[in-house]
Amino acid sequence: MTEFRADLLNGIALAYAGDAVYEVFVRDYLLRQGITKPGELQKNAVKFVSAKAQAYLISEMIKDAVLTDEELVYFKRGRNAHSKTTAKNTDVVTYRISTGFEAVFGFNHLTQKNERVHELAEYCIQKVSEQNI
């Protein structure tokens, strides 16, 4: 069996993992807020997980110097990756930026930087809660 190397994964693969990881944090948060109806959960989740929200969040992370130099590398890897899927409800640039956002979560998760994943998720949830996107 070969050694798993998350640092060698392409941006799309990292984003694939990161999308799921971040989504779990958002779902946990919404349920802890007492939101239990499926329609309300979906409506509120979009505020956190849409491409627009993720693009906003990564720009805030960069502005606030939240990301490490290493995380910026993986953000760019995700942002610059060529995906065969297309954006559903947003423009291509926003979609690619959100892929970079997800790649950061994916990289940290796959390299078992769990505390860092928690820090970033908490930062994002707080930002969205404050802005009420």
Domains annotated on the chain, with CATH: 9-131 (1.10.1520.10)
25: its two tokens = 């944090």
Residue tagged active-site, from 19, 28, 64, 91: 19
Distance (Å, rounded) from C-alpha 54 to C-alpha 2?
Answer: 34
Number of Cβ within 10 Å of residue 87's Cβ equals: 15
Q: What is the pLDDT of residue 1?
A: 67
19: annotated active-site residue: yes
- The answer to whether 110 touches 6, Cβ cutoff 8 Å, is yes
Written as tens digits, the pLDDT of the chain (133 aa) is 678 888 889 999 999 999 999 999 999 999 999 999 999 999 999 999 999 999 999 999 999 999 999 999 999 999 999 877 777 788 899 999 999 999 999 999 999 999 999 999 999 999 999 886 4
9: its two tokens = 């994964």
Q: What is the pLDDT of residue 131?
A: 81
Q: State the pTM of this model.
A: 0.92
